[in-house]
Amino acid sequence: MRALVYHGPGQKAWEEKAMPTLLEDTDAIVHIDAVTICGTDLHILKGDVPAVTSGRTLGHEAVGTVESVGAGVKNVKVGDRVLVSCITACGACRFCREGRYGQCLGGGGWILGHKIDGTQAEYVRVPFADTSTYTVPAGVSDEQVLMLADILPTGYEVGVLNGRVQPGDVVAVVGVGPIGLSTIMGARLFSPSHVVAIDLADSRLEAAKEFGADVTVNNGREDALRAVQELTGGLGADVAIEAVGVPATFELAAQLVRPGGHVANVGVHGEAAALHLEDFWIRDLTITTGLVDTYSTPTLLRLISGHEIDAGHFVTHRFTLDAFEEAYEVFGHPTETGALKVVLTSEE
Ligand SMILES: NC(=O)c1ccc[n+]([C@@H]2O[C@H](COP(=O)([O-])OP(=O)(O)OC[C@H]3O[C@@H](n4cnc5c(N)ncnc54)[C@H](O)[C@@H]3O)[C@@H](O)[C@H]2O)c1
Ligand SMILES: [Zn+2]
Ligand SMILES: [Zn+2]
């Protein structure tokens, strides 16, 4: 088979690789029908994730068809169409029993395309298949479901639910890439009065309007704090969601909320950000952090089936699997290409 293989910082190739085989009796082998690229894959290629070593197949998001299962797999059958999620769950450890699959202690968590070979290939081995895949409901497209492998549960769980968005809230989203846009999609389910999208890129702010932002602020040109204060009579937003991952955006998100408000950090940070306790202590702020657990995947699948959310809206570019290198180029240059999510499908 062929796979997109990492060969150290800046180097990758779509190349021949041995077919994965069942290693544990709880494994499944899944034929990839549709797969996408994540911003995290770009971080890996920059060398920011040293746990990923040369020879690793990248990718942690896919929809596919089950090719074979181990003797211990009970619910997943050969021929089933399944979502392969970014988080693998052993289902039995303390954190899995609490629904915190991202923190799995039994060999799961974020392992695909990280610690074991991932989904950017013709076939993938999925450990703990019963608790790490989701049956795709009839009548929904691969593209829609593919958005549930990572971005939608991340935005919904770590942004919207951790941020406790309530009806009537003013919700400020700092950074409206695919993750920020998915927080807007998720926040709208709770009827906020206003969603304010803040980004440096006008193309992303245009996308935010399409996803339901009421107000957009380019904080390269405009003062985001003043814009939010004007909208809220000087009080600040009820919820601020950080979806970039740099100190300046976390610090801005914390400034934007009213007393008693929630700051939900979603961005992956590589350096320290200032936490101004000298200002915050008296303002009753709640600040949350989180790695996605994907406990909301069944809920999001029902919302897609019921046409309450249109996850296909994220897909801006489509390729076949053999065009993986071109797909990385397009996804890696969103300012020029307007890319949000790219989808690659097998030709069979
Ligand atoms: N917590 C989790 O479980 C989890 C899961 C997946 C991704 N993430 C993280 O979420 C973050 C967003 O992911 P993405 O794929 O949308 O990334 P992205 O790079 O596509 O989007 C980030 C957006 O932030 C904007 N931006 C950059 N600097 C800014 C600034 N100073 N002010 C305002 N906007 C600014 C960019 O223009 C871009 O539109 C990343 O840090 C990613 O690693 C977290
Ligand atoms: Zn990802
Ligand atoms: Zn576990």
pLDDT of residue 140: 94
- Asked if residue 266 has its Cβ within 6 Å of ligand 1, the reply is yes
pLDDT level of residue 145 (50, 70, 90 thresholds)? very high
Identify the residue whose C-alpha is closest to ligand 1 atom 3: 291
61 C-beta closer than 6 A to ligand 1: no
Q: Which of 100, 86, 65, 99 is nearest to 149 (CA)?
A: 86
Is the separation of the CB atoms in 266 and 183 below 8 Å? Answer: yes
Q: How much distance in Å is there from the Cα of 292 to the middle of ligand 3?
A: 14
Q: Is pLDDT above 90 for 134?
A: yes
103 φ, ψ to 5°? -100, 15
Name the closest ligand to CA 35: 2
Cα 214 to Cα 194: distance, rounded to the nearest angstrom: 6
In short, whether 268's Cβ falls inside 6 Å of ligand 1 is yes
Is the pLDDT score of 159 beyond 80?
yes
Ligand 1 centroid to residue 268 C-alpha, Å: 8
Q: Is the pLDDT of residue 68 over 90?
A: yes
Beta strands in 156-309 (DSSP E): 170-174, 194-199, 215-218, 237-242, 257-265, 286-288
pLDDT tens readout for residues 7-61: 999 999 999 999 999 999 999 999 999 999 999 999 999 988 999 999 999 999 9
CB of 179 shorter than 6 A to ligand 1: yes
Quote the pTM value.
0.96
Residue 275 CA to ligand 2 centre (angstroms)? 26
Closest CA to 219 of 185, 188, 253: 253
Q: Report whether residue 288 contacts ligand 1, using a CB cutoff of 6 Å.
A: no
The pLDDT mean for the chain works out to 97
Q: Is the CB of 267 under 6 A from ligand 1?
A: yes
Model confidence pLDDT, tens digit, residues 276-326? 999 999 999 999 999 999 999 999 999 999 999 999 999 999 999 999 999
Percentage of the chain beyond pLDDT 90 is 97
96 CA to centre of ligand 3 in angstroms: 4
CB distance 103 to ligand 1 below 6 Å = no
How many C-alpha atoms does 2 have within 13 Å on its Cβ side? Answer: 12
- Distance, CA of 13 to chain centre: 24
Whether the CB of 243 sits within 6 Å of ligand 1:
yes
> What would the mean pLDDT of 153-176 be, rounded to a whole number?
98
pLDDT tens, residue by residue, 178-220: 999 999 999 999 999 999 999 999 999 999 999 999 999 999 9
Ligand nearest to the CA of 108: 3
Q: What is the pLDDT of residues 114-132, one digit of tens each?
A: 999 999 999 999 999 999 9
CA of 328 to the centre of ligand 3 (A): 32
Task: Using alpha carbons, select from 32, 20, 40, 24 the residue that is nearest to residue 83.
Answer: 32
Sheet of 194-199, strand order: 215-218, 194-199, 170-174, 237-242, 257-265, 286-288
Residue 348 has pLDDT above 70, yes or no: no
Give the pair of three-digit tokens for residue 139.
């009548």
How many angstroms does the Cα of residue 267 sit away from the middle of ligand 1? 6
The separation between CA 12 and the C-alpha centre of its own chain, rounded to angstroms, equals 22
pLDDT mean over 65-72:
98
- Taking the CA of residue 252 as reference, the ligand 1 atom at the shortest distance is 32
pLDDT of residue 270: 84
Contacts of 240 (CB under 8 A, 6+ apart): 163, 171, 172, 173, 174, 253, 254, 256, 257, 261, 262, 263, 264
Task: Tell me which ligand sits closest to the C-alpha of residue 94.
Answer: 3
pLDDT at 347 over 90: no
Q: Average pLDDT, stretch 92-102?
A: 98
- At residue 112 the predicted structure's pLDDT band, cuts being 50, 70 and 90, is very high
Angle of helix 324-332 versus helix 39-46 axis, rounded to 10: 100
Distance 147 CA to ligand 2 centre (A): 10
Cβ 93 under 6 angstroms from ligand 1: no
